[in-house]
Amino acid sequence: MASSKEKKQRAGSSDLVLTPGGWRKGSRTVKVEPGQHVEVKDGHLCVLDTATGTVVVDLGEVKPNE
């Protein structure tokens, strides 16, 4: 497991963000706040407000694998 120092070095050396899936480029991530969730709605990947179902962010069309 990486130490705090190693994490800071990795994050400070480039635009990296620690996600549940590991280190990712910050430009390729989106923050999901408490009370929000991610789902596919009408063919688009969206961040929704869980209580109301309102789309907070539309992340774009989801294209099926061919």
Confidence of residue 37 (pLDDT cuts 50, 70, 90): very high
Q: What are phi and psi of 45, to 5 degrees?
A: -80, 120
**Per-residue pLDDT at 65:** 82
Please state the domain extents for the chain.
Answer: 1-30, 31-66
**Per-residue pLDDT at 4:** 59
pLDDT tens digit sequence for 47-63: 999 999 999 999 999 98
Chain mean pLDDT for the chain: 86
Q: Are 17 and 26 in contact (CB under 8 A)?
A: yes
Q: Are 38 and 26 in contact (CB under 8 A)?
A: no
Distance set, CA 22 to CA 25, 57, 62 (Å) = 10, 23, 22
**Per-residue pLDDT at 64:** 81
